[in-house]
Structure 1
Amino acid sequence: MDPRMQQTLEYHRMIESLIELASSETGKTVTTELQPSTCTEDVSHMLQSTAEAMDFLRLAGNLSFESVKEIRPSLQRARIGSVLSAVELLDVAGTAAAEKRVSSAFKRLEPEDAPLPILRELVGRLAETRGLAESILSSIDEDGQVKDEASPALKRIRGSIIQLQGRIRSSLEEILHHSKYVKMLQESIVTQRNDRYVIPVKQEYRGAFGGIVHDQSASGQTLFIEPQSVVDLNNRLRELELEEAREVERILGELTVQVGESAEDVENNLSVCTELDVIFAKARLGRKLKGIVPRLNTDGLIRLKGARHPLIDMEEVVPIDVELGGAYRAIVITGPNTGGKTVSLKTVGLLTLMAQAGLPIPAEEESTVSVFSGVFADIGDEQSIEQNLSTFSSHLTNIIHILQQIDARSLVLMDELGAGTDPTEGAALAIAILEKVLERGCRLVATTHYNELKLFANSRDEVINASVEFNVETLSPTYRLLIGIPGRSNAFEIAERLGLPKEIIQTARSQISSEENRLEDMIGALSEDQRQAEEERQKAEALRMEAEALHQELKQQLKRWEKEKERIQESARREAKSIVSRAKREAEEVIHQLRQWAKERPGSLKEHKLIEAKKRLTDVEPETKWVKDVESEDRPQKAIAVGDEVWVKTLNQKGQVIADLGNDEFQVAVGLMKMKVPRNSLQWKASPQVHSESGTTSYRRFSSNVRPELDLRGKLVEEAIPEIDKYLDDALLAGFDNVFLIHGKGTGALRKGVRKYLDNHSRVRSYRSGGQGEGGLGVTVVELK
């Protein structure tokens, strides 16, 4: 790729952003040199790896490579036997430790949830170097100092040094605070010179202390003396310090040997981690830009949906839609200055370069790009009239350079083609250049002011007009790119809006040829049609989204109805089973009593009669299969009015009519749900009770058969639960807000079972024990919702 073209499209600024997002030294270095590739396989691999990294960030959060350093020189020195410093070893440890952190991060993600084949293959190439990192970090702290625990000898030596330093300071402190020496001292402090502990003594008292003079002040009035009393101690301290240095050097030497032995593995991990860091930097850039990884094609097709220039503030940039390389190989964009033509041009070029470098692009899903052998751009700001010659020469020189390099796989971008010279000659030259570029088979986007180029685009099947929209009402551009519509100059409209007299505008219009007027009128009509079509499309899209949302809501509501239906049916089955089971137990007791009676009165009751009686009782047990309560065919249908209680046949549930919708259709409340139901799916049950309050008529749900309390005393928990379930449904339909479950005190087992069931009931808001006058612990008061 031509570096000058990349500079023109500001690709270097995207690389600068990428460098900031790389977390390792080596990653930053590699991103500095990142170039767009012209190999389709390489671009595909880079984009796929970036997409995987974006998935990883979404699923597992960030993965930092900050501890990875440029340690290749240190590894080379370790190989040849040089001893590495503590800081160098610490850098090696950071890089070696990255292996464990990276491997663990990927192990936490299940392959079924996140396949990530490219990244997992890279991670699989990491050699295990965590042992080396642990060895170094156990001997060197985070500040690059060898720890006392690095060896028993070092710990002993440093302990002796601390003790000796304490003795020396104590001896010197005694001198400082002795009344005999106070007047001889310049200051009462202990300091160091040449790694020896000394005290500052006035020059005239030099002979009072003996010992060694190590330094003096600039004025010569202060001598830094090591008193004779601590000379031997300082000598011993110096010996221990040398011994410490030798032990530290020995420890560093041993660690360096370990580094040399693992140098190949560490260097391999450095390369892998650097590559991963670059990939994750691209993913972080994608997240920052709210971008996507585009699809890749080999047909020279560019289809960008909602594309945004990445260097313009996201709150201000206007997205554009561009398609090039399919039905059309070239786009000619016209429109007013500062209207967004150049930005559109740069957006196409920069996003193409970014994709070919494996970077995400700020666009919507389903955008697709191709791999070009080169992206060539002639883009420059218009200059003043005095500079027209230099502007034209500069553009032409650049175009000549482009024409010498392009081939059938090139993308060419030309801004203000033919500008800077006579309009007639400039337009002719621009058309000739476009013809040449198209002849080479390139993909082309060009901007211009010339009407001749609009006509050229309109006459060629493989070229399409486009424009940037301008709002004449506000006298400002909207920056929207309109494909298929050539741009208008809008000069007369702007002049009229600004107050130029109409006679002047009419005179100006008369100076333009009829063909040009017809062209402007055609463009205006097309623009208006485009605007109306866009408004209609947006309305249709809004209606479609509303319909989809309603459809989804209805589907969810239907699912809830089906679940509620199944729950009520199951409740009814349990209740029926409970009733039958209780009846059978009672029958067994009766038969048992009869047998006892037969034993007491032999001959008066035969055994086969008892068996026959039991069989009749068994035959009485109904099947628990749900049977719909349907209205008899020959029974006349009763008129249904608002407020009536009805049976909804399709749901096998009771409901209340809340509105007559006409056409034999009613709105019915079933529990908390409201639904439209045709008349033939309803069976009348009861009419509401009507009573008057202050001259108004109000309706209450029919509830004559439902009481506000349910007596469960004497029942087992298994028997009570079905009754409670049915009772709560009836109470809700009857309009009760609170009901009373009477279970008695007893052992408390029934109360516990009832409340455990209430804990999970969807229609129970809360419950409590009965208060004074309500039955106390023998009653549970339930609040319904």
Structure 2
Amino acid sequence: MNNKALSVLEFDKIKDEIAKYLITSRGKTLLKKLMPMSVESIVHRLIDQTKDGMDIVRLKGEIPVRKLDDLHDQANRLKKDGNLNGTELAAIGQVLKNTSELKQFFETMHDDEITLRELYNLSDKLIDNPQLTKRINQSVDESGRLLDTASDDLGYIRNQINKLNDQIRHSMEQFTRGKGTKYLTEAIVTLRDDRFVVPVKTEYRAKFGGVVHDQSASGQTLYIEPQSVVGMNNQLHDAQTSERLEEIKILGELSDLVRPDISDILNNNEVLAEFDLINAKAKYANQIKATEPLVSRDNIVDLKQAKHPLIDPDKIVANDIKIGDDYKTMLITGPNTGGKTITMKTLGLIQIMAQAGLFIPAHEESHVAVFDEVFVDIGDEQSIEQNLSTFSSHMDNIINIMKNVTDKSLVLIDELGAGTDPQEGAAIAIAILEELSKSDCEIMATTHYPELKIYAYNTQDTINASMEFDDKSLKPTYRLLIGIPGASNAFNIASRLGMNSSVVERGKSLMSGESQDLNNMISDLENRRKEFENNNQKLEQQLAKNKEVEEDYENQRDQLEKSKDSEIKAAKIRANQIVSSTKKKTEKIIDHLKELERSGVAVKDDQIISARTDLKNLHQDEATKKNRVLRRAKKRQQLKVGDEVKAIPYGQIGTIIRKNKDNQYEVQLGILKMKFDAVDLEKTDQKVEQDQPKPTLVKRTKSSLLSSKLDLRGERYDEAMTDLDRYIDEALLAGYNQVTIVHGFGTGVIRKGVTKYLQGNPRVKSFGYAPASSGGSGATIVDL
């Protein structure tokens, strides 16, 4: 889009406001390059990014971007086989760290099922490098200083340096305390040439001994290294030299590690800068209370209560602006300082803001178009250097517009035809409008010429508009009135200010009949508009009453829904109590069946399993239904007939053969057919062997696949209790008489949960902590 339009409409001032929220160097560079786009798909993408940014600001406060430097200098040095210093490596470390943080940030948002339009895709462009990130973080701090953990040798050397420093200072205390202080000009230890020295009075040089490293400007003080610490200072100097050499070595190693990945790191820095800019655009939109612009497929602009973003919102008057549907040209008339130019600039600036992906200062559901160009001719652009008059300057600009305009352009012209003889100016203005209209572009122009009001009234796809003027206060209201041309207020203003009535009447008589008719038409339109507004106000009041009735109805309906949900929940609780009681009784029956079997009476396992499964299916588990993770997992399964599944309660693989009307799945497990709810089935890649001969006899034996030990360490409480319940069932079916539950020590929560479960399970004969040699109180042995 042409720079002239961006300059006149003050788009740079919008970017200056956004810049206040940027924190990265590359983000500021991207903002400088920010321009309105003329491709609809790109405009949609940019607006969607800002919408995502607004949602994140609302939900999370902001996108967590760090203050990051531009890395192009570091990249150039690495490509030339140069090494980086600590500060430069720290800047790279910040980019790597921020990359990991943002990847985790968006993964968490995705897990929380927060819907975003574009930013998940943008975050996928970040390339995480955990190993390099960890190495730099443990080697360099944020200021660029190498850490002791950068290498074992560096840590050892610095430890030696610290010890030598302590030894030297301790040794030199004998000179700064007690009798030795009389030889010193000041009782302190200082450094000269990286050696520890004390300030000795010149006259005591011979008595003090040691090595002189410096003297004061007056010659009164000698800085002497005592003989007793010369050896330790030498060791310290050697250690410091070793430290510098080790640091150089580490910086070289780190540079070599970074070198092959610098392109990915630069890419990450660019993506992080995009997030920074999106953050800034969202925060600016939040500041000016902007809304999402909707892109019109038909290139129609329909702004509701739009305000100029650079004017105090408490002082500016909001206006509805619409163009491109029933009419493509709007001619605004009205008094000077009435707001015509500001209204035109509001349309132009809001339009280019939207095409740059910014939210706009207008009410929701406002529509914008996607123009290939916005052409402007606003203000007095007389060029002294070119000796052009105001009229010539405007004509030169308009000629350029006419050469380049298309059916996808927006043209804004202020004071069309001004600066020359009124009759000629009106004529050339009409000719210009007719020529521009041939290109089918959208036009907004301001004028004072009455001839143009008549032209707009009689021309297809063209409409009059005006800025409202209050006859009583003699002041403009700055309201845009579409469909009504601006009336001449000269006679009314003169009369109210006290002009002699004869002078006013004489002036009216001198007007042409056409002008009088025009004024009468405008007066009639104005009266009709006021009548319409009064009727509209009454309708709005009635609508408000209807909304109150509707809200009252909605509240009553919500209360009824809540009451219904409460009753259903209470009924489920009562039902669960009945099922729980029934389950205990059934467990006793199953125990009896087991006793019969041990006595030699044949009882089939599938009867026992089916009975237990049916009882479990009766229980309505509210907590599980509300668990978001399980809900998502269930959604991902998408079970269907023919799928190979794992029956979770029994750990067996089978095939879904049908789904009944109760939404239960019938699964073929070997020779058994069993019914399961969807939550008890899990898709699996394992296949049931079809070629193997099917066994004709089901015989219960101890399973070689089921361990006699269950390890719950590291699991969450709910997960551990679920696994424990399933394991005890499988152990009973496998015929185990004794199993071990490993719960660890930890906080004791899992251990207490295990104890509570075992106490309430009628299938458990006894239980107790394992012997000290087998885990002690960190494990529980259960007799079934």
Please give the alpha-carbon distance, in whole angstroms, between the structure 2 residues aligned to 1:519 and 1:112.
64
Q: Which residue of 2 aligns with 1:46?
A: 46
Q: Secondary structure at the match of 1:333?
A: strand
SS at match of 1:332: strand
Q: Could you say which residue in structure 1 is the equivalent of 2:405?
A: 406
2:235 aligned counterpart, secondary structure: helix
Q: Deviations over 1:86-130 (max 9, x none)?
A: 221211111112222222222223479444242212222322223
**SS at 1:323 equivalent:** strand
Distance of 1:179 and 1:206 partners within structure 2: 16
1:28 is aligned to: 28
Q: Which amino acid aligns with 1:377?
A: V
SS of the residue 2:109 aligns to: coil
Aligned to 1:273: 272
Secondary structure of 1:266 counterpart: helix
Alpha-carbon distance in 2 for matches of 1:447, 1:173 = 88
Q: How far 1:152 sits from its partner (Å)?
A: 3.1
2:43, 2:356 within 8 Å by CA — same for their partners in 1? yes
Q: CA deviation at 1:404?
A: 2.8
Shift of 1:221: 4.2
Closer, same or farther in 2 for the Cα pair 1:517/1:157, shift >3 Å?
same
Alignment check: 8 A CA contact 2:66 2:98 kept? no
Q: Please list every run of 5 or more consecutive structure 2 residues that lacks an aligned counterpart in the other structure.
A: 571-784
Are residues 565 and 256 of structure 1, via their aligned partners in 2, closer, same or farther at CA, if it must alter by over 3 Å? Answer: closer
**One-letter amino acid matched to 2:124:** G
Whether the 8 Å contact between 1:67 and 1:95 is mirrored in structure 2 is no
Matches within 5 A, 1:685-700: none
Structure 1 residues 286 and 424: CA distance shift in structure 2, 3 A:
same
Secondary structure of 2:332's aligned partner: strand
Instruction: Provide the rounded CA distance (Å) in 2 between the counterparts of 1:562 and 1:132.
Output: 55
Hey, what does 1:335 align to over in structure 2?
Answer: 334
Q: 2: CA distance between counterparts of 1:265 and 1:389?
A: 54
1:306 equivalent in structure 2: 305
What does residue 140 of structure 1 align with? 140
Whole-angstrom distance in 1 between the partners of 2:163 and 2:299? 79
Partner of 1:489: 488
Q: Which stretch of the first structure deviates more once superposed, 208-217 or 493-502?
A: 208-217
Residues 432-466 of structure 1: per-residue CA shift (max 9 Å, x gap): 22222112222110011111111111111111000
User: What letter corresponds to residue 557 of structure 1 in structure 2?
Assistant: Q
AA aligned to 2:511 is: I
Residue identity opposite 2:8 in structure 1: T
Tell me which residue corresponds to 2:74: 74
2:454 alignment counterpart: 455
State the one-letter code of the partner of 1:401: N
- Other-structure match for 2:466: 467
1-side partners of 2:44 and 2:350: how far apart? 15
Residue equivalent to 2:507: 508
Name the counterpart of 1:361: 360
After TM superposition, list the pairs within 5 Å mapping 1:636-655 onto structure 2: none
Residue 75 (structure 1) shift: 3.6
Aligned 8 A contact 2:127 2:268 in 1: yes
Question: In structure 2, what is the Cα distance between the partners aligned to 1:343 and 1:164?
Answer: 75
Q: Indicate whether 1:239 and 2:230 are aligned.
A: no
2:422 matched to which residue of 1?
Answer: 423
Shift of 1:181: 5.4
Residues 438 and 252 of structure 1: is their aligned pair in 2 closer, same or farther, counting only changes over 3 Å? same
Tell me the number of residue pairs that the alignment of Structure 1 and Structure 2 aligns.
Answer: 566
Give me the whole-angstrom Cα distance separating, in 1, the residues matched to 2:564 and 2:11: 63
Greater CA deviation, 100-109 or 462-471? 100-109
The alpha-carbon distance between structure 1 residues 307 and 511, as it changes in their structure 2 partners (threshold 3 A), is same
Q: Which residue of 2 aligns with 1:433?
A: 432
Find the counterpart in structure 2 of residue 8 from structure 1: 8
Contact 1:129 1:266 in 2 (8 A): no
**1:343-376 alpha-carbon deviations (Å, 9 max, x no partner):** 1100111111111111111112222222212111
- Find the counterpart in structure 2 of residue 163 from structure 1: 163
Deviation of the 1:66 alpha carbon: 2.2
Matched, 1:122 2:122: yes
User: Does the CA-based 8 Å contact 2:181-2:187 persist in structure 1?
Assistant: no
Q: How does 1:80-91 map to 2 (within 5 A)?
A: 80-91=80-91
**What whole-Å deviation, never above 9, does each CA across 1:515-549 have from its counterpart, x for those lacking one?**
22232232122123212312321331232122122
Letter in 2 for 1:526: L
Tell me if the contact between 2:291 and 2:362 (Cα under 8 Å) persists in the aligned partners. Answer: yes
What's the counterpart of residue 322 of structure 2?
A: 323
> Any idea what SS the aligned residue of 1:192 has?
strand
Residue 435 of structure 1 aligns to a residue whose secondary structure is helix
* Superposed counterparts of 1:603-642, under 5 Å: none
Within 2, Cα distance between the matches of 1:345 and 1:411?
Answer: 11
Partner AA of 2:304 in structure 1? K
Contact kept in structure 2, 1:129 and 1:265, CA below 8 Å: no
1:48-107 deviation line (CA, Å, top 9, x unaligned):
232233233333431132244322332443455433222212111111122222222222
Please state whether the residue corresponding to 1:146 is helix, strand or coil.
coil
CA, structure 1 residues 176+110, in 2 after alignment: closer, same or farther (shift >3 Å)? closer
Q: How far did 1:239 drift?
A: 1.0
Paired AA for residue 461 in structure 2: E
**Cα distance change on mapping 1:130 and 1:210 into 2, 3 Å:** same
Distance 2:207 2:488 in 1: 101
Q: 1:224 to 1:538 in 2, by over 3 A?
A: farther
Quickly say closer, same or farther: Cα 1:178–1:479, change in 2 above 3 A: same
- Give the SS at the match of 1:92: helix
Q: Which stretch has the larger CA shift, 65-74 or 206-215?
A: 206-215
Is the 2:53–2:63 contact (alpha carbons within 8 Å) kept by the matching residues of 1? no
CA shift, 1:330, in A, is 0.5
SS state of the match for residue 20, structure 2? helix
CA distance in 1, matches of 2:475, 2:167: 85
Q: What are the equivalent positions in structure 2 for 1:276-291 lying under 5 Å apart?
A: 276-291=275-290
Cα drift, residue 303 of structure 1: 1.4
SS at match of 2:553: helix
Q: How does 1:371-410 map to 2 (within 5 A)?
A: 371-380=370-379, 390-410=389-409
Helix, strand or coil for the counterpart of 1:407?
coil
Residue matched to 2:478: 479
Report the Cα distance in structure 2 between the residues aligned to 1:220 and 1:532, rounded to whole angstroms: 100
Q: Distance in 1 between matches of 2:518 and 2:259?
A: 78
Amino acid of the residue matched to residue 165 of structure 1?
Answer: N
The CA distance in 1 between the partners of 2:508 and 2:200, in whole Å, is 102
Look up the equivalent residue of 1:12 and give its one-letter code.
Answer: D
More divergent stretch after superposition (447-456 vs 421-430): 421-430
TM-score (norm 2): 0.67
CA RMSD of aligned residues (A): 3.0
Deviation at 1:298, TM superposition (A): 4.2
Give 1:210-221 correspondences, 5 Å limit: 210-221=209-220
Give the match for residue 541 of structure 2. Answer: 542
SS at match of 1:49: helix
CA distance in 2 between partners of 1:225 and 1:18 (Å): 60
C-alpha distance in 2, partners of 1:495/1:213? Answer: 98
Answer whether contact 2:48 2:117 (CA < 8 A) is retained. Answer: no
Larger-Rg structure: 1
- Is 31-40 or 487-496 further displaced after alignment? 487-496
Q: What does residue 37 of structure 1 align with?
A: 37
Partner of 1:197: 196
The corresponding residue for 1:153 is 153
8 A contact 2:381–2:394 mirrored in 1: no
1:425 Cα offset (Å): 2.2
Name the amino acid aligned to 2:438.
E
TM-score, normalised by the number of residues in structure 1: 0.67
Structure 1 residue runs of 5 or longer lacking an equivalent are: 572-785
Kept in 1, the 8 Å contact 2:215–2:222? The answer is yes
Aligned to 1:588: none
Q: Give per-residue Cα distances to partners, 1:693-724, cap 9 Å, x unaligned.
A: xxxxxxxxxxxxxxxxxxxxxxxxxxxxxxxx
Q: 2-side partners of 1:26 and 1:559: how far apart?
A: 50
Q: Which amino acid aligns with 2:184?
A: L
